[in-house]
Amino acid sequence: MSRLGVSIGDVNGIGIEILIKAFKSLKPILMKHRLIIFGDYYHINYYLKKFKGKIKPGDFPVFIDYTGKDSRIPGVYEVSPLNLNPDYQPEPGTISKVAGEIAYESITTASNEIKKKNIDSLVTLPIAKESIRLTGCDKTGHTTILEDYFKKRITMVFMSKVLNVVLITIHLPINRVSESITVNAITQKVKLVYNFFSRRNKKLRFLLLALNPHAGENGLLGYEEKRVIIPAVKRLTAAGLNISGPKPPDTAFTRNNISQYDFFICMYHDQGLIPFKMLTEFNACQVSVGLDFVRTSVSHGTGFDIAGKGIASPESFIYAVMKNIELIK
């Protein structure tokens, strides 16, 4: 039986809503595994009251206090209170310093429980970088917060039943992407992904995307392919990996390629995530490779534009929990 920690995310976003909605689908899982939520009842109760009339009584989640690693009541969510900002009422769709403090406290408390081995893995609900920034913290995303806390380098992998995408660079302005992709960065990230997933599949196939249109046209449209990407492919091939590329991005995500390759290695955020989200919608999650434990996350953000309206889909959170359990086996 696994113990999965869940960080509460930004209480002004859709995180608590999708947590509540996911209960019906996750109830069979909760009979075999534990979900321990690092958050406070007064924020959860705000959304429970808000959505109570929209959820069938039998599908309504049950929350109890988390009292220790040896205690368990099957079929419920367990809550480990933060006792932070008890007077704060969620303001759906709003950037807030208080919400940032709650989100940061949740992820660091859960991380500490990982270190103490009180939980086995982590599922994160979405946070707002602007809210975290208001707290004075210069690490504004889950990835950078976890990298700093555990002193590890993380590679972001987006996974679904249809397509898996690896990002070489993450949240960078487009004019900084070229300077940030190096032979070492590409080879290290791809090897990290290979080492993590080859425990389950020794015959992984990777497709490495070009940065420039037409893969640079032999230098006419850019030199990154000749100077960086092709040498990285050669180095990874010499290391024994089955990798192809650089592939022009506009022809990479064909049905044939998707059926052939296990991972698409993308140079920057939108190059990978636009096709990924078009093809997978919400039935997908993110996996952080490089930590000593499994961390999965929803594949979307806080959804401030729909927060509090009761229309958010829980599918990505459900998938993140299922994938987390699959990967810790």
Query: Which helix (DSSP H) or strand (DSSP E) does residue 79 occupy?
Result: strand 77-80
Cα separation, 79 vs 213, whole angstroms: 49
Overall average pLDDT of the 108-117 stretch: 96
Which of 11-25, 78-92, 122-136, 275-289 is predicted least confidently? 78-92
pLDDT of residue 132: 96
Q: Could you give the percent of the chain with pLDDT greater than 90?
A: 84
Tokens standing for residue 55: 């959820």
Q: For residue 179, how many other CB atoms are within 10 A of its CB?
A: 10
Rounded distance, CA 13 to CA 314, Å?
Answer: 13
Question: What is the per-residue burial (b if ≥16 Cβ within 10 Å, else e) of 290-324?
Answer: bbebbbbbbbbbbbbebbbebebbbbbbbbbbebb
Amino acid 286: pLDDT: 97
DSSP percent split of the chain into helix, strand, coil, nearest 5: 45, 20, 40
88: left (phi over 0), alpha (psi -120 to 50) or beta: beta
CA distance 18 to 156: 22
Q: Which residues contact residue 117 at a Cβ distance below 8 angstroms, ignoring those fewer than 6 apart?
A: none
| C-alpha–C-alpha distance, residues 165 and 251, integer Å | 15
Q: At what angle do helices 183-197 and 230-238 cross, to 10 degrees?
A: 40
* Secondary structure class of 115 (helix, strand, coil): helix
| pLDDT over 80 (residue 70) | no
- What is d(CA 324, CA 321) in angstroms, rounded to the nearest whole number? 5
Domains of the chain by start residue, with CATH: 1-153+285-329 (3.40.718.10), 162-282 (3.40.718.10)
| Distance of alpha carbon 131 from alpha carbon 152, whole angstroms | 24
Residue 137 near residue 237 (C-beta atoms within 8 A): no
Whether the CA torsion 247, 284, 82, 151 is positive or negative: it is negative
Give CA–CA dist 52/307, Å, rounded: 16
Residue 52's pLDDT is what?
81
pLDDT digits (tens, 9 = 90+) for 28-49: 999 999 999 999 999 999 999 9
162-195 per-position pLDDT tens digit = 999 999 998 889 999 999 999 999 999 999 999 9
The confidence band for 152, taking pLDDT boundaries of 50, 70 and 90, is very high
Q: Do 314 and 322 meet the contact criterion of CB atoms below 8 Å apart?
A: no
Identify which has the larger pLDDT, 61 or 15.
15
The DSSP code sequence of 151-167 is T---EEEEEESS--EEE
Give residue 58's pLDDT: 76
- Mean pLDDT score, 282-297: 96
Distances (CA, A) of 89 to 37, 38, 42, 84, 95: 18, 17, 8, 12, 13
Average pLDDT over all residues of the chain: 94
pLDDT value at residue 216: 74
